[in-house]
Chains A and B, each alone.
Chain A
Amino acid sequence: MSMTEATGIATVGRWFELSQFLYQEAALLDARDWDGWGRLFTSEGRYWVPAAHDQRDWINHVSLVNDTSLLRGIRLARLKNGDAASLHGSPDSSHLVSNIVIAEADEARGRYIVHSRFVVAQYASWGRHTFHGGYSHELVRESGEIRICLKRVNLVDVSGPLGDILTIL
Protein backbone atom coordinates (compact mmCIF):
# COMPACT_ATOMS: atom_id res chain seq x y z
CA MET A 1 0.00 0.00 0.00
CA SER A 2 1.36 3.42 -0.95
CA MET A 3 1.53 6.36 1.46
CA THR A 4 -1.17 8.10 -0.56
CA GLU A 5 -3.48 5.13 -0.19
CA ALA A 6 -2.78 4.96 3.54
CA THR A 7 -3.57 8.66 3.96
CA GLY A 8 -6.72 8.20 1.94
CA ILE A 9 -7.86 5.32 4.09
CA ALA A 10 -7.13 7.34 7.26
CA THR A 11 -9.15 10.25 5.89
CA VAL A 12 -12.06 7.99 5.05
CA GLY A 13 -11.81 6.54 8.54
CA ARG A 14 -11.98 10.00 10.12
CA TRP A 15 -14.84 11.02 7.85
CA PHE A 16 -16.69 7.84 8.83
CA GLU A 17 -16.08 8.46 12.55
CA LEU A 18 -17.24 12.10 12.44
CA SER A 19 -20.23 11.25 10.24
CA GLN A 20 -21.24 8.58 12.75
CA PHE A 21 -20.94 11.21 15.49
CA LEU A 22 -23.39 13.52 13.68
CA TYR A 23 -25.80 10.65 13.08
CA GLN A 24 -25.62 9.66 16.73
CA GLU A 25 -26.27 13.24 17.79
CA ALA A 26 -29.35 13.33 15.55
CA ALA A 27 -30.51 9.99 16.97
CA LEU A 28 -30.21 11.28 20.57
CA LEU A 29 -32.37 14.31 19.69
CA ASP A 30 -34.98 12.21 17.91
CA ALA A 31 -35.04 9.82 20.89
CA ARG A 32 -35.54 12.81 23.23
CA ASP A 33 -32.47 11.71 25.17
CA TRP A 34 -31.81 15.27 26.32
CA ASP A 35 -29.14 14.42 28.90
CA GLY A 36 -27.38 12.21 26.39
CA TRP A 37 -27.34 15.08 23.90
CA GLY A 38 -26.12 17.53 26.56
CA ARG A 39 -23.19 15.22 27.36
CA LEU A 40 -21.92 15.55 23.78
CA PHE A 41 -20.72 19.11 24.57
CA THR A 42 -17.50 20.16 26.24
CA SER A 43 -17.93 22.16 29.46
CA GLU A 44 -17.54 25.35 27.37
CA GLY A 45 -19.50 23.96 24.44
CA ARG A 46 -22.07 26.17 22.80
CA TYR A 47 -25.24 25.50 20.79
CA TRP A 48 -25.78 28.53 18.56
CA VAL A 49 -28.49 29.46 16.07
CA PRO A 50 -27.62 32.88 14.59
CA ALA A 51 -30.45 35.23 13.62
CA ALA A 52 -28.83 36.41 10.37
CA HIS A 53 -26.86 35.01 7.45
CA ASP A 54 -23.12 35.48 7.92
CA GLN A 55 -23.57 36.54 11.54
CA ARG A 56 -20.08 36.83 12.98
CA ASP A 57 -20.68 36.49 16.71
CA TRP A 58 -23.28 36.19 19.46
CA ILE A 59 -22.22 39.35 21.32
CA ASN A 60 -22.95 42.15 18.85
CA HIS A 61 -25.97 40.62 17.16
CA VAL A 62 -29.11 38.99 18.49
CA SER A 63 -29.37 35.20 18.06
CA LEU A 64 -32.23 32.74 17.92
CA VAL A 65 -30.36 30.48 20.35
CA ASN A 66 -27.09 31.13 22.16
CA ASP A 67 -26.85 28.35 24.72
CA THR A 68 -23.84 28.11 26.96
CA SER A 69 -23.80 25.04 29.20
CA LEU A 70 -25.87 26.96 31.74
CA LEU A 71 -28.57 27.97 29.27
CA ARG A 72 -28.50 24.54 27.68
CA GLY A 73 -29.25 23.19 31.15
CA ILE A 74 -32.33 25.42 31.40
CA ARG A 75 -33.49 24.49 27.89
CA LEU A 76 -33.07 20.78 28.60
CA ALA A 77 -34.83 21.06 31.97
CA ARG A 78 -37.82 22.62 30.16
CA LEU A 79 -37.80 19.88 27.55
CA LYS A 80 -37.53 17.15 30.19
CA ASN A 81 -40.48 18.13 32.34
CA GLY A 82 -42.64 19.39 29.46
CA ASP A 83 -44.74 21.68 31.68
CA ALA A 84 -44.11 24.81 29.61
CA ALA A 85 -47.16 25.83 27.56
CA SER A 86 -45.29 25.55 24.26
CA LEU A 87 -43.93 22.10 25.12
CA HIS A 88 -47.22 20.42 26.02
CA GLY A 89 -47.71 17.35 23.92
CA SER A 90 -43.96 16.87 23.68
CA PRO A 91 -42.92 18.15 20.28
CA ASP A 92 -41.20 15.36 18.38
CA SER A 93 -38.52 15.70 15.77
CA SER A 94 -36.89 13.86 12.91
CA HIS A 95 -33.37 14.95 12.00
CA LEU A 96 -31.89 14.07 8.63
CA VAL A 97 -28.18 14.93 8.24
CA SER A 98 -26.30 14.69 4.97
CA ASN A 99 -23.60 16.22 2.70
CA ILE A 100 -21.06 15.74 5.49
CA VAL A 101 -17.68 17.30 4.75
CA ILE A 102 -14.63 17.68 6.97
CA ALA A 103 -13.81 21.35 6.37
CA GLU A 104 -10.76 21.48 8.62
CA ALA A 105 -8.79 18.82 10.47
CA ASP A 106 -5.99 19.29 12.99
CA GLU A 107 -5.08 15.69 13.75
CA ALA A 108 -2.29 16.65 16.16
CA ARG A 109 -4.72 18.51 18.42
CA GLY A 110 -7.71 16.34 17.64
CA ARG A 111 -9.79 19.27 16.40
CA TYR A 112 -12.16 19.17 13.45
CA ILE A 113 -14.68 21.42 11.74
CA VAL A 114 -17.42 19.48 10.01
CA HIS A 115 -20.01 20.96 7.66
CA SER A 116 -23.27 19.26 6.79
CA ARG A 117 -26.82 19.96 5.65
CA PHE A 118 -29.96 19.12 7.57
CA VAL A 119 -33.70 18.72 7.29
CA VAL A 120 -35.42 18.77 10.67
CA ALA A 121 -39.10 18.03 11.00
CA GLN A 122 -40.83 19.31 14.14
CA TYR A 123 -44.16 17.80 15.12
CA ALA A 124 -46.14 19.66 17.78
CA SER A 125 -49.76 19.23 18.82
CA TRP A 126 -50.81 22.37 16.91
CA GLY A 127 -48.94 21.68 13.71
CA ARG A 128 -45.77 20.68 12.01
CA HIS A 129 -42.88 22.52 10.50
CA THR A 130 -39.79 21.56 8.56
CA PHE A 131 -36.51 23.42 9.00
CA HIS A 132 -33.77 23.41 6.37
CA GLY A 133 -30.19 24.56 6.55
CA GLY A 134 -26.60 23.73 7.36
CA TYR A 135 -24.65 22.71 10.41
CA SER A 136 -21.12 23.64 11.28
CA HIS A 137 -19.74 21.51 14.10
CA GLU A 138 -16.48 22.43 15.79
CA LEU A 139 -15.41 19.18 17.40
CA VAL A 140 -12.58 18.16 19.70
CA ARG A 141 -11.34 14.80 20.97
CA GLU A 142 -11.41 14.75 24.77
CA SER A 143 -10.21 11.58 26.53
CA GLY A 144 -10.72 9.70 23.31
CA GLU A 145 -14.30 10.87 22.80
CA ILE A 146 -15.47 13.38 20.20
CA ARG A 147 -17.14 16.38 21.86
CA ILE A 148 -18.82 19.55 20.55
CA CYS A 149 -17.11 22.91 21.14
CA LEU A 150 -19.58 24.76 18.94
CA LYS A 151 -22.66 23.64 17.05
CA ARG A 152 -23.71 26.39 14.66
CA VAL A 153 -27.07 26.08 12.89
CA ASN A 154 -27.56 28.15 9.74
CA LEU A 155 -31.25 28.23 8.85
CA VAL A 156 -31.86 29.01 5.17
CA ASP A 157 -34.89 31.15 6.07
CA VAL A 158 -33.22 32.83 9.03
CA SER A 159 -34.36 36.30 7.86
CA GLY A 160 -37.84 35.16 8.72
CA PRO A 161 -40.55 35.56 9.58
CA LEU A 162 -40.02 32.45 11.65
CA GLY A 163 -42.50 30.43 13.67
CA ASP A 164 -41.77 28.59 16.90
CA ILE A 165 -38.56 26.59 17.07
CA LEU A 166 -39.42 24.23 19.91
CA THR A 167 -37.15 21.32 19.19
CA ILE A 168 -33.37 21.43 19.23
CA LEU A 169 -32.23 21.76 15.64
Chain B
Amino acid sequence: MSANKSDAATPAQHAVTGTPSGSLHRPSELAPTVDVSGLIDAASGLVDRAVFTDQAVYRQELRRIFAPSWLFLAHEDQFHKPGDFFTTYMGEDPVIVSMDKQRRVHAILNSCRHRGARVCRADFGNTKNFVCSYHGWGYDLEGSLVSVPFENEYPETFRKSDWGLVEVPRVESYSGLIFGTWNPDPEPLVEALGGMAWYMDAMLDRDPEGTVVVGGVNKWVLDGNWKLAAEQFATDWYHVNMSHASALMVMSPDGKPRDEIINRPGRQFHDPKGHGAGFPVSPKARFDDQAVHKWTDYDALRARLGDARVEGPLTTGHATVFPNFSYLPVNGSIRVWHPKGPDKMEVWTWTILDKSMPDHVRESQRLYNLRTFGPSGIFEQDDGENWSEAQAVAHGFVTNNVALNYQMGIGTEKEDGTYPGVTTSLYSDAAGRSFYRRWQELMGTPAWHEGSDS
Protein backbone atom coordinates (compact mmCIF):
# COMPACT_ATOMS: atom_id res chain seq x y z
CA MET B 1 0.00 0.00 0.00
CA SER B 2 1.01 3.62 -0.31
CA ALA B 3 0.80 6.01 2.61
CA ASN B 4 0.40 8.80 0.13
CA LYS B 5 -2.73 8.01 -1.78
CA SER B 6 -4.06 10.87 -3.76
CA ASP B 7 -7.03 11.23 -6.04
CA ALA B 8 -7.20 12.96 -9.40
CA ALA B 9 -8.09 16.27 -7.82
CA THR B 10 -4.89 16.38 -5.82
CA PRO B 11 -2.47 18.92 -7.27
CA ALA B 12 1.31 18.70 -7.44
CA GLN B 13 3.15 15.76 -5.92
CA HIS B 14 6.78 15.62 -5.02
CA ALA B 15 8.87 13.62 -7.50
CA VAL B 16 10.81 11.72 -4.84
CA THR B 17 8.08 10.89 -2.34
CA GLY B 18 4.73 11.50 -4.04
CA THR B 19 3.75 13.78 -1.16
CA PRO B 20 1.66 16.93 -1.73
CA SER B 21 3.91 19.79 -2.76
CA GLY B 22 1.51 22.59 -3.69
CA SER B 23 3.44 25.23 -5.57
CA LEU B 24 6.75 24.30 -3.98
CA HIS B 25 9.54 23.97 -6.49
CA ARG B 26 13.09 23.30 -5.37
CA PRO B 27 15.60 25.16 -7.53
CA SER B 28 18.06 22.89 -9.30
CA GLU B 29 20.96 24.83 -7.78
CA LEU B 30 20.26 23.02 -4.53
CA ALA B 31 20.95 19.67 -6.16
CA PRO B 32 23.82 20.26 -8.56
CA THR B 33 24.98 17.27 -10.56
CA VAL B 34 28.69 16.56 -10.60
CA ASP B 35 30.11 14.72 -13.60
CA VAL B 36 32.12 12.01 -11.83
CA SER B 37 33.23 10.23 -14.98
CA GLY B 38 36.71 11.69 -14.52
CA LEU B 39 37.05 10.59 -10.89
CA ILE B 40 37.33 6.85 -11.54
CA ASP B 41 39.61 5.16 -14.05
CA ALA B 42 38.72 1.53 -13.47
CA ALA B 43 40.63 0.29 -16.49
CA SER B 44 43.88 1.75 -15.15
CA GLY B 45 43.02 1.09 -11.51
CA LEU B 46 43.07 4.74 -10.41
CA VAL B 47 40.70 6.53 -8.02
CA ASP B 48 40.60 10.28 -7.38
CA ARG B 49 40.51 10.98 -3.62
CA ALA B 50 37.75 13.57 -4.09
CA VAL B 51 35.30 10.64 -4.04
CA PHE B 52 36.07 10.32 -0.32
CA THR B 53 36.01 14.00 0.63
CA ASP B 54 33.80 16.14 -1.56
CA GLN B 55 30.49 17.37 -0.16
CA ALA B 56 28.80 17.72 -3.56
CA VAL B 57 29.83 14.20 -4.51
CA TYR B 58 28.47 12.98 -1.19
CA ARG B 59 25.13 14.74 -1.70
CA GLN B 60 24.92 13.10 -5.11
CA GLU B 61 25.64 9.70 -3.55
CA LEU B 62 22.59 10.09 -1.31
CA ARG B 63 20.52 10.92 -4.41
CA ARG B 64 21.92 8.46 -6.95
CA ILE B 65 23.54 5.63 -4.95
CA PHE B 66 21.51 5.29 -1.77
CA ALA B 67 18.03 6.41 -2.89
CA PRO B 68 17.73 4.04 -5.89
CA SER B 69 19.68 1.01 -4.57
CA TRP B 70 18.43 -1.95 -2.57
CA LEU B 71 19.70 -1.31 0.97
CA PHE B 72 19.87 -3.77 3.85
CA LEU B 73 17.30 -2.97 6.55
CA ALA B 74 17.13 -5.80 9.07
CA HIS B 75 16.95 -9.56 9.60
CA GLU B 76 13.56 -11.30 9.55
CA ASP B 77 14.29 -12.76 13.00
CA GLN B 78 13.88 -9.26 14.45
CA PHE B 79 10.11 -9.37 13.80
CA HIS B 80 7.88 -12.01 15.38
CA LYS B 81 4.64 -10.32 16.39
CA PRO B 82 2.61 -7.30 15.30
CA GLY B 83 4.12 -4.08 16.53
CA ASP B 84 7.72 -5.36 16.61
CA PHE B 85 9.88 -2.61 15.17
CA PHE B 86 13.50 -1.73 14.47
CA THR B 87 14.78 1.71 13.50
CA THR B 88 17.63 2.17 11.05
CA TYR B 89 18.76 4.37 8.17
CA MET B 90 18.70 4.22 4.39
CA GLY B 91 21.56 6.51 3.51
CA GLU B 92 20.86 9.33 5.94
CA ASP B 93 17.09 8.77 5.86
CA PRO B 94 15.72 7.40 9.14
CA VAL B 95 13.30 4.50 8.68
CA ILE B 96 11.16 2.31 10.91
CA VAL B 97 10.98 -1.33 9.91
CA SER B 98 7.98 -2.94 11.58
CA MET B 99 5.51 -5.82 11.49
CA ASP B 100 1.92 -4.69 11.06
CA LYS B 101 -1.26 -6.41 12.23
CA GLN B 102 -1.32 -8.55 9.08
CA ARG B 103 2.23 -9.67 10.00
CA ARG B 104 3.62 -7.92 6.98
CA VAL B 105 7.05 -6.35 7.45
CA HIS B 106 7.36 -2.96 5.87
CA ALA B 107 9.40 0.21 6.21
CA ILE B 108 8.33 3.82 6.64
CA LEU B 109 10.18 7.09 6.84
CA ASN B 110 10.75 7.98 10.49
CA SER B 111 9.91 11.65 10.17
CA CYS B 112 6.62 13.27 11.17
CA ARG B 113 4.74 14.85 8.27
CA HIS B 114 3.93 17.87 10.44
CA ARG B 115 7.25 19.34 11.60
CA GLY B 116 9.59 16.51 10.72
CA ALA B 117 10.75 15.07 14.05
CA ARG B 118 11.25 11.33 14.33
CA VAL B 119 8.07 9.58 15.44
CA CYS B 120 10.06 6.72 16.95
CA ARG B 121 13.20 7.37 18.94
CA ALA B 122 13.80 3.85 20.24
CA ASP B 123 16.31 1.45 18.66
CA PHE B 124 13.85 -1.43 18.68
CA GLY B 125 10.84 -2.71 20.61
CA ASN B 126 7.12 -3.34 20.31
CA THR B 127 4.46 -0.66 19.97
CA LYS B 128 0.84 0.01 19.05
CA ASN B 129 1.39 3.33 17.30
CA PHE B 130 4.11 5.75 16.32
CA VAL B 131 3.38 9.08 17.95
CA CYS B 132 5.39 12.23 17.47
CA SER B 133 6.46 13.62 20.82
CA TYR B 134 6.44 17.18 19.43
CA HIS B 135 2.71 17.87 18.80
CA GLY B 136 1.22 14.42 19.07
CA TRP B 137 0.45 13.42 15.50
CA GLY B 138 -0.15 9.68 15.80
CA TYR B 139 0.38 7.04 13.12
CA ASP B 140 -0.64 3.39 13.11
CA LEU B 141 1.74 0.51 12.37
CA GLU B 142 1.16 0.94 8.62
CA GLY B 143 2.13 4.62 8.86
CA SER B 144 -1.38 6.00 8.31
CA LEU B 145 -2.09 9.19 10.23
CA VAL B 146 -4.80 8.32 12.76
CA SER B 147 -4.69 11.07 15.36
CA VAL B 148 -4.21 14.83 15.10
CA PRO B 149 -4.80 16.81 18.30
CA PHE B 150 -7.01 19.85 17.63
CA GLU B 151 -7.83 18.50 14.18
CA ASN B 152 -10.86 20.82 14.00
CA GLU B 153 -8.52 23.82 13.79
CA TYR B 154 -7.32 22.66 10.37
CA PRO B 155 -9.10 23.78 7.20
CA GLU B 156 -11.82 21.60 5.71
CA THR B 157 -9.46 20.56 2.93
CA PHE B 158 -7.19 18.84 5.47
CA ARG B 159 -7.42 15.08 5.13
CA LYS B 160 -5.46 12.77 7.40
CA SER B 161 -5.18 10.31 4.51
CA ASP B 162 -2.86 12.76 2.74
CA TRP B 163 -0.46 12.92 5.63
CA GLY B 164 0.64 9.37 6.43
CA LEU B 165 4.29 8.55 6.95
CA VAL B 166 6.10 8.06 3.65
CA GLU B 167 6.35 4.36 2.94
CA VAL B 168 9.43 2.72 1.45
CA PRO B 169 7.80 1.54 -1.77
CA ARG B 170 9.61 -1.77 -2.13
CA VAL B 171 10.72 -4.18 0.59
CA GLU B 172 11.92 -7.69 -0.24
CA SER B 173 13.80 -10.46 1.55
CA TYR B 174 16.58 -12.77 0.52
CA SER B 175 17.22 -15.77 2.80
CA GLY B 176 16.17 -13.90 5.92
CA LEU B 177 17.79 -10.58 5.03
CA ILE B 178 15.33 -7.72 4.47
CA PHE B 179 16.21 -5.04 1.93
CA GLY B 180 14.31 -1.94 0.86
CA THR B 181 14.60 0.69 -1.86
CA TRP B 182 13.05 4.10 -2.46
CA ASN B 183 12.92 3.31 -6.16
CA PRO B 184 9.23 2.56 -6.87
CA ASP B 185 10.13 0.47 -9.93
CA PRO B 186 13.38 -1.35 -9.17
CA GLU B 187 14.66 -4.58 -10.58
CA PRO B 188 13.70 -7.40 -8.16
CA LEU B 189 16.10 -7.86 -5.24
CA VAL B 190 17.29 -11.25 -6.42
CA GLU B 191 18.21 -9.79 -9.81
CA ALA B 192 19.99 -6.89 -8.15
CA LEU B 193 22.05 -9.39 -6.13
CA GLY B 194 22.91 -11.11 -9.39
CA GLY B 195 25.82 -13.53 -9.18
CA MET B 196 26.43 -12.55 -5.56
CA ALA B 197 23.51 -14.67 -4.33
CA TRP B 198 25.44 -17.92 -4.92
CA TYR B 199 28.19 -16.64 -2.62
CA MET B 200 25.76 -15.26 -0.02
CA ASP B 201 24.13 -18.68 0.26
CA ALA B 202 27.40 -20.00 1.70
CA MET B 203 26.49 -18.06 4.84
CA LEU B 204 22.70 -17.82 4.66
CA ASP B 205 21.77 -21.29 3.43
CA ARG B 206 24.04 -23.61 5.42
CA ASP B 207 21.14 -24.60 7.61
CA PRO B 208 17.79 -25.72 6.13
CA GLU B 209 16.18 -23.78 8.98
CA GLY B 210 17.99 -20.59 8.04
CA THR B 211 19.66 -18.07 10.29
CA VAL B 212 18.76 -16.21 13.48
CA VAL B 213 20.10 -13.07 15.12
CA VAL B 214 21.91 -13.51 18.42
CA GLY B 215 22.27 -10.58 20.80
CA GLY B 216 21.70 -6.97 19.92
CA VAL B 217 22.94 -4.69 17.18
CA ASN B 218 26.34 -3.15 17.96
CA LYS B 219 26.77 0.41 16.73
CA TRP B 220 29.79 2.67 16.64
CA VAL B 221 30.93 5.83 14.90
CA LEU B 222 34.14 6.06 12.85
CA ASP B 223 35.91 8.89 11.12
CA GLY B 224 36.16 7.77 7.51
CA ASN B 225 34.17 7.73 4.31
CA TRP B 226 31.68 4.86 4.08
CA LYS B 227 33.25 3.58 0.84
CA LEU B 228 36.56 2.84 2.56
CA ALA B 229 34.83 0.13 4.57
CA ALA B 230 32.52 -1.08 1.81
CA GLU B 231 35.32 -1.47 -0.75
CA GLN B 232 37.59 -3.23 1.74
CA PHE B 233 34.98 -5.88 2.47
CA ALA B 234 34.48 -6.34 -1.27
CA THR B 235 38.07 -6.55 -2.37
CA ASP B 236 40.70 -6.50 0.31
CA TRP B 237 42.32 -9.60 1.72
CA TYR B 238 45.62 -7.89 0.98
CA HIS B 239 45.60 -5.88 4.23
CA VAL B 240 45.11 -8.92 6.43
CA ASN B 241 48.71 -10.01 6.80
CA MET B 242 49.99 -6.53 7.63
CA SER B 243 47.15 -4.84 9.48
CA HIS B 244 46.09 -7.89 11.45
CA ALA B 245 49.54 -9.37 12.09
CA SER B 246 49.19 -9.20 15.87
CA ALA B 247 45.67 -10.61 15.78
CA LEU B 248 46.80 -13.44 13.52
CA MET B 249 49.53 -14.31 16.00
CA VAL B 250 46.91 -14.50 18.75
CA MET B 251 44.78 -16.76 16.57
CA SER B 252 47.64 -19.00 15.47
CA PRO B 253 47.03 -22.45 16.98
CA ASP B 254 50.58 -22.76 18.30
CA GLY B 255 51.26 -19.04 18.71
CA LYS B 256 53.84 -19.11 15.91
CA PRO B 257 53.89 -17.41 12.50
CA ARG B 258 52.66 -19.96 9.97
CA ASP B 259 53.19 -19.91 6.26
CA GLU B 260 49.66 -21.12 5.48
CA ILE B 261 48.27 -17.96 7.06
CA ILE B 262 50.30 -15.61 4.89
CA ASN B 263 50.53 -17.50 1.60
CA ARG B 264 46.91 -18.36 1.42
CA PRO B 265 45.43 -19.59 -1.85
CA GLY B 266 42.01 -18.25 -2.60
CA ARG B 267 39.72 -16.51 -5.07
CA GLN B 268 38.03 -13.15 -5.28
CA PHE B 269 34.69 -12.74 -7.01
CA HIS B 270 33.22 -9.55 -8.41
CA ASP B 271 29.84 -8.83 -9.94
CA PRO B 272 29.05 -6.07 -12.46
CA LYS B 273 26.46 -4.77 -9.96
CA GLY B 274 29.34 -3.74 -7.69
CA HIS B 275 29.25 -6.67 -5.26
CA GLY B 276 32.43 -8.49 -4.30
CA ALA B 277 33.69 -11.34 -2.12
CA GLY B 278 37.06 -12.87 -1.39
CA PHE B 279 37.84 -16.13 0.34
CA PRO B 280 40.68 -18.53 1.00
CA VAL B 281 40.25 -21.91 -0.69
CA SER B 282 41.05 -24.74 1.66
CA PRO B 283 39.15 -27.52 3.38
CA LYS B 284 40.58 -26.39 6.72
CA ALA B 285 40.59 -22.64 6.44
CA ARG B 286 37.95 -21.95 9.04
CA PHE B 287 39.10 -20.06 12.10
CA ASP B 288 36.00 -21.09 14.01
CA ASP B 289 35.82 -21.66 17.67
CA GLN B 290 36.25 -25.35 18.51
CA ALA B 291 32.67 -25.79 19.66
CA VAL B 292 31.46 -24.58 16.26
CA HIS B 293 33.96 -26.80 14.47
CA LYS B 294 32.83 -29.88 16.40
CA TRP B 295 29.15 -29.20 15.80
CA THR B 296 29.49 -28.47 12.08
CA ASP B 297 28.68 -31.41 9.81
CA TYR B 298 30.98 -30.76 6.86
CA ASP B 299 29.74 -33.76 4.89
CA ALA B 300 26.19 -32.47 5.08
CA LEU B 301 27.37 -29.00 4.08
CA ARG B 302 29.19 -30.44 1.07
CA ALA B 303 26.05 -32.29 0.03
CA ARG B 304 23.95 -29.16 0.47
CA LEU B 305 26.19 -26.45 -0.95
CA GLY B 306 28.76 -28.32 -3.02
CA ASP B 307 32.48 -28.75 -2.42
CA ALA B 308 33.49 -25.46 -4.01
CA ARG B 309 31.32 -23.39 -1.71
CA VAL B 310 32.31 -25.26 1.44
CA GLU B 311 36.00 -24.91 0.62
CA GLY B 312 35.67 -21.31 -0.56
CA PRO B 313 33.09 -18.68 0.39
CA LEU B 314 32.07 -20.58 3.52
CA THR B 315 35.58 -20.13 4.92
CA THR B 316 37.21 -17.08 6.42
CA GLY B 317 36.01 -14.74 3.70
CA HIS B 318 34.82 -11.18 3.27
CA ALA B 319 32.02 -9.69 1.16
CA THR B 320 30.13 -6.53 0.25
CA VAL B 321 26.71 -6.26 -1.34
CA PHE B 322 26.73 -2.92 -3.14
CA PRO B 323 26.55 -0.30 -1.84
CA ASN B 324 26.95 -0.60 1.92
CA PHE B 325 26.05 -4.07 3.26
CA SER B 326 28.95 -6.34 4.16
CA TYR B 327 29.46 -9.64 5.92
CA LEU B 328 31.99 -12.16 7.17
CA PRO B 329 30.65 -15.67 6.68
CA VAL B 330 32.81 -17.44 9.24
CA ASN B 331 31.95 -14.96 11.98
CA GLY B 332 28.29 -14.58 11.13
CA SER B 333 28.97 -10.86 11.25
CA ILE B 334 26.68 -8.80 9.01
CA ARG B 335 26.97 -5.05 8.94
CA VAL B 336 25.90 -1.78 7.37
CA TRP B 337 28.16 1.20 6.80
CA HIS B 338 25.76 4.09 7.32
CA PRO B 339 27.04 7.27 5.65
CA LYS B 340 27.17 10.33 7.92
CA GLY B 341 28.67 12.95 5.64
CA PRO B 342 31.78 12.39 3.51
CA ASP B 343 34.04 12.06 6.54
CA LYS B 344 32.07 9.88 8.93
CA MET B 345 30.27 6.56 9.08
CA GLU B 346 28.27 4.60 11.60
CA VAL B 347 29.00 0.90 11.72
CA TRP B 348 26.02 -1.27 12.67
CA THR B 349 26.70 -4.98 13.13
CA TRP B 350 24.51 -7.98 13.77
CA THR B 351 25.67 -11.52 14.59
CA ILE B 352 23.69 -14.20 12.80
CA LEU B 353 23.89 -17.93 13.42
CA ASP B 354 22.49 -21.09 11.96
CA LYS B 355 19.12 -21.68 13.58
CA SER B 356 19.84 -25.33 14.34
CA MET B 357 22.84 -24.50 16.51
CA PRO B 358 22.36 -25.60 20.12
CA ASP B 359 22.77 -22.96 22.81
CA HIS B 360 26.37 -23.72 23.74
CA VAL B 361 27.42 -23.50 20.08
CA ARG B 362 25.53 -20.25 19.63
CA GLU B 363 27.24 -18.79 22.67
CA SER B 364 30.61 -19.94 21.43
CA GLN B 365 30.06 -18.36 18.03
CA ARG B 366 28.72 -15.15 19.57
CA LEU B 367 31.79 -14.76 21.74
CA TYR B 368 34.09 -15.63 18.85
CA ASN B 369 32.57 -12.88 16.79
CA LEU B 370 32.71 -10.43 19.70
CA ARG B 371 36.42 -11.14 20.22
CA THR B 372 37.32 -10.73 16.55
CA PHE B 373 34.83 -8.36 14.93
CA GLY B 374 32.90 -6.78 17.80
CA PRO B 375 33.40 -3.03 18.36
CA SER B 376 36.56 -3.80 20.34
CA GLY B 377 37.40 -6.98 18.41
CA ILE B 378 41.06 -7.63 17.74
CA PHE B 379 40.52 -7.44 13.97
CA GLU B 380 37.80 -4.78 13.88
CA GLN B 381 39.95 -2.22 15.70
CA ASP B 382 42.72 -2.58 13.12
CA ASP B 383 40.29 -1.90 10.28
CA GLY B 384 38.74 1.18 11.84
CA GLU B 385 42.19 2.63 12.49
CA ASN B 386 43.12 2.26 8.82
CA TRP B 387 39.98 3.93 7.50
CA SER B 388 40.21 6.83 9.93
CA GLU B 389 43.90 7.26 9.12
CA ALA B 390 43.26 7.46 5.38
CA GLN B 391 40.44 9.95 5.93
CA ALA B 392 42.38 12.10 8.40
CA VAL B 393 44.77 13.36 5.73
CA ALA B 394 42.53 13.14 2.68
CA HIS B 395 41.49 16.80 2.72
CA GLY B 396 45.02 18.10 2.21
CA PHE B 397 45.16 20.00 -1.09
CA VAL B 398 48.10 18.16 -2.54
CA THR B 399 47.15 14.91 -0.85
CA ASN B 400 43.67 15.04 -2.30
CA ASN B 401 45.08 15.46 -5.81
CA VAL B 402 47.17 12.29 -5.73
CA ALA B 403 45.31 9.35 -7.26
CA LEU B 404 45.14 6.08 -5.33
CA ASN B 405 46.24 2.70 -6.65
CA TYR B 406 43.74 -0.10 -7.32
CA GLN B 407 45.89 -2.01 -9.82
CA MET B 408 46.44 -5.34 -8.09
CA GLY B 409 45.40 -8.21 -10.33
CA ILE B 410 44.68 -6.11 -13.42
CA GLY B 411 44.28 -8.42 -16.39
CA THR B 412 43.87 -11.59 -14.33
CA GLU B 413 40.05 -11.54 -14.25
CA LYS B 414 38.66 -14.80 -15.63
CA GLU B 415 36.08 -17.56 -15.24
CA ASP B 416 37.94 -20.38 -13.52
CA GLY B 417 35.35 -23.14 -14.00
CA THR B 418 34.94 -23.68 -10.25
CA TYR B 419 33.68 -20.41 -8.86
CA PRO B 420 30.81 -18.86 -10.85
CA GLY B 421 31.21 -15.47 -12.45
CA VAL B 422 34.45 -13.59 -12.88
CA THR B 423 37.16 -14.17 -10.30
CA THR B 424 40.80 -13.41 -9.65
CA SER B 425 43.26 -14.62 -7.08
CA LEU B 426 42.51 -13.76 -3.44
CA TYR B 427 45.02 -10.89 -3.46
CA SER B 428 43.40 -8.50 -5.90
CA ASP B 429 41.75 -5.10 -6.35
CA ALA B 430 39.40 -6.44 -9.02
CA ALA B 431 36.30 -6.22 -6.86
CA GLY B 432 37.37 -2.71 -5.83
CA ARG B 433 37.67 -1.63 -9.45
CA SER B 434 34.25 -3.20 -10.08
CA PHE B 435 32.78 -1.45 -7.01
CA TYR B 436 33.93 1.95 -8.24
CA ARG B 437 32.92 1.22 -11.82
CA ARG B 438 29.38 0.56 -10.57
CA TRP B 439 29.56 3.65 -8.36
CA GLN B 440 30.62 5.74 -11.36
CA GLU B 441 27.80 4.27 -13.44
CA LEU B 442 25.08 5.03 -10.88
CA MET B 443 26.49 8.50 -10.11
CA GLY B 444 26.16 9.28 -13.80
CA THR B 445 22.62 7.93 -14.10
CA PRO B 446 19.65 10.14 -13.20
CA ALA B 447 17.61 8.48 -10.46
CA TRP B 448 13.95 7.67 -11.08
CA HIS B 449 12.78 11.02 -9.68
CA GLU B 450 15.10 13.08 -11.89
CA GLY B 451 13.46 12.17 -15.19
CA SER B 452 15.24 10.36 -17.97
CA ASP B 453 17.37 13.08 -19.51
CA SER B 454 18.26 15.55 -16.78
State yes or no: do A and B come from one complex.
no
